[in-house]
Structure 1
Amino acid sequence: MSVEDKLMSMKEAIKKFVNDGDTVYMAGFTHLIPFSAGHEIIRQKKRNLTLCRLTPDIIFDQMIAAGCAKKVVFSWAGNPGVGTLRAFRRAVEKGYPNSIEIEEYTHFSMICRITAGALHIPFIPLKSLRGSDLPKYNPNIKVINCPYTGREICVVPALNPDVSIIHAQRADKNGNVQVWGILGDIKEAAFAAKRVIVSVEEIVDENVIRSDPNRTVIPDFMVDALVEEPWAAHPSYAQGYYDRDNEFYIEWDKISMEPETLQKYLDEWVYGLENRAEYVKKLGVEKIMKLKPKSFYSLPVNYGIYM
């Protein structure tokens, strides 16, 4: 795939690579959550998606409320630091706006699934699920006898999404993607998926990427679509670019309390906007400046070079 074919808008990326009925993995553990992509999926009215991620967060609450999901595969669901995901609960308990299936794991067993997918092995063993109630309620968690010790051990199946969606700090135009701060499940999500959409805060010169190669967690040949999309993770954060908007997470609890107020939010902040640039403009200068972090650089590393 040429550089020209890979670079596109978020609207183009979602239209081209996310289909109704897909299994969609949205990476980012508290950090670099791809909200812009989630909003575009809502805007394009994608349906019957199986949505997967560690800690669904409020992006899944929004997508469920918009009717995008038929199933959620997850580990712990909640509005971090605040409380429950109200739209998620309405869908599970009351079938509103539609009923959804749930498949629950622990954080570790969920990351084991996506790691197995990245390694392209059929399952992965782990000890931590023994003694919990999850194997009783999740038939995908199996108990087998270890071929080496003979002891019982749990295994979980590989997760290979149709598409993984990732946000990162920067990449070059070829799609070599760099991340720092909390890495979470970003690399595994990319290597496990059939198709990969990456948005970044900025596209930088190849020399910038080469100057610090250890930060490159996704190589260019894994990336199908590359989108330059500043503030794509808001209200979560991008280390070094903007902080987490804690005020919004608290506000979301009130917004999502009733379907009517949640729909009003979607109409104003998702359906009513053409793209992320309009979203950032609507956020306003005061909010943007409030979330801008102070500079705090790591010490340089001498890689050396033979001239």
Structure 2
Amino acid sequence: MAEILPLSAAVADLVHDGDTVALEGFTHLIPFAAAHEIIRQRRRDLTLVRMTPDLIYDQLIGMGCARRLVFSWGGNPGVGSLHRFRDAVQNGWPGPLEIEEHSHAGMANRYVAGASGLPFAVMRGYTGTDLLEYTDTIRPITCPFTGELLTAVPALRPDVAIVHAQRADRAGNVSMWGITGVQKEAVLAADRSLVTVEEIVDELSPVPDQVVLPTWAVTAVAEVPGGAHPSYTMGYSVRDNDFYVAWDPISRDRETFQRWMADHVLGVGEPDGQPR
């Protein structure tokens, strides 16, 4: 059964140094507020997992939280590179960063295998690519029925998965809708999970095409209005496109980046007004 907690308490309980952490969301429902709390609590040596690491992973990497990144595509959507990510890979600042690269399909299939309790997933998607030469978690496998040469990828089972959603009820059942990506699979694959939500309500109203995460699948829920900003939450907010553009010059320079993080993340209270 999910426990309803303040964000700081949920992160303190669920995210530990050295954990494998997946913060999922695709354009929509990206859990920025939860990641900022991880930064404030100075978690270290994390293996960060995500299909599409963007600004929030740039911030986590630049603040020294990450030791390793498992991902498919990474960048500032519609703008350009992630400069803190690039600096870590090319120059080892603020520390060296190991990378494990997959395709979108490979990452999605790994989450599905983890959620299904299977050891690996099998797919055709890597055939003809050179990723097998660079990523040792992609292995050739022969179909026992047809003899076709395929590729296998190991299941993803994060220590903790963190996602954002629109609503939860007081029992910890979660409702999300819109572009939902692999949030459900990430939560089901993880040992522990945290869902930040725009609001906690007495009863979940039916919404077309919603995904419901039942309370038994969720470890903790935190009410964090605006917790996806600068990404958006369908029905609650719109994407802050200006911020994505502004992030490019902020993140290019190490000192400018550090000042911005000090002013806007470190020492800042929780978005829900809870004291620190």
- What is the TM-score normalised by the length of structure 1? 0.87
Instruction: Report how far residue 212 of structure 1 moved.
Output: 4.8
2:262 is the alignment partner of 1:267: yes
Q: Which runs of 5+ in 1 are unaligned?
A: 280-307
State which of 71, 75, 87 in structure 2 corresponds to 1:74: 71
State which of 240, 255, 261 in structure 1 corresponds to 2:235: 240
Cα distance in 2 for residues equivalent to 1:276 and 1:50: 25
Work out whether residues 177 and 211 of structure 2, in 8 Å CA contact, stay in contact via their aligned partners in 1. Answer: no
Instruction: Report how far residue 213 of structure 1 moved.
Output: 8.8
- Correspondence for 2:216: 221
Cα distance in 2 for residues equivalent to 1:71 and 1:115: 21
Instruction: Report how far residue 223 of structure 1 moved.
Output: 1.1
Q: Which runs of 5+ in 2 are unaligned?
A: none
Q: Determine helix, strand or coil for the equivalent of 2:252.
A: coil
Work out whether residues 176 and 216 of structure 1, in 8 Å CA contact, stay in contact via their aligned partners in 2. Answer: no
The residue correspondences of 1:1-307 to structure 2 (distance < 5 A) are 1=1, 6-206=3-203, 208-209=204-205, 211-212=206-207, 215-277=210-272
Which 4+ residue blocks in structure 1 deviate beyond 2 angstroms?
Answer: 211-217
**What root-mean-square deviation, in Å, do the aligned CA atoms of Structure 1 and Structure 2 show?**
1.4
Cα distance in 1 for residues equivalent to 2:63 and 2:48: 13
Q: Determine helix, strand or coil for the equivalent of 1:256.
A: helix
Instruction: Report how far residue 215 of structure 1 moved.
Output: 2.3
Bigger relative contact order (CA 8 A; separation at least 6): 2
| Alpha carbons of structure 1 residues 224 and 40: separation in structure 2 relative to 1, 3 Å | same
Work out whether residues 125 and 153 of structure 1, in 8 Å CA contact, stay in contact via their aligned partners in 2. Answer: yes
Cα distance in 2 for residues equivalent to 1:42 and 1:48: 12
Corresponding residue pairs, total: 274
Instruction: Report how far residue 276 of structure 1 moved.
Output: 1.6
Q: Determine helix, strand or coil for the equivalent of 1:164.
A: strand
Instruction: Report how far residue 214 of structure 1 moved.
Output: 6.1
Q: Cα deviations across residues 206-230 of structure 1 (Å, max 9, x unaligned)? A: 2x34x45962431110111110100
Q: Cα deviations across residues 18-69 of structure 1 (Å, max 9, x unaligned)? A: 0000000111111100000100000000000000011101000000010000
Q: Cα deviations across residues 103-142 of structure 1 (Å, max 9, x unaligned)? A: 0011111011111100010011110111011111001000
- Correspondence for 1:298: none
Q: Determine helix, strand or coil for the equivalent of 1:183.
A: coil
- The structure richer in helix per residue is 1
Instruction: Report how far residue 272 of structure 1 moved.
Output: 3.2
Cα distance in 1 for residues equivalent to 2:80 and 2:130: 23
| Alpha carbons of structure 1 residues 258 and 214: separation in structure 2 relative to 1, 3 Å | closer
Cα distance in 2 for residues equivalent to 1:59 and 1:214: 27
AA in 2 matched with 1:170: R
Cα distance in 1 for residues equivalent to 2:209 and 2:248: 39
| Alpha carbons of structure 1 residues 239 and 55: separation in structure 2 relative to 1, 3 Å | same
Q: Determine helix, strand or coil for the equivalent of 2:265.
A: helix
Q: Determine helix, strand or coil for the equivalent of 2:47.
A: strand
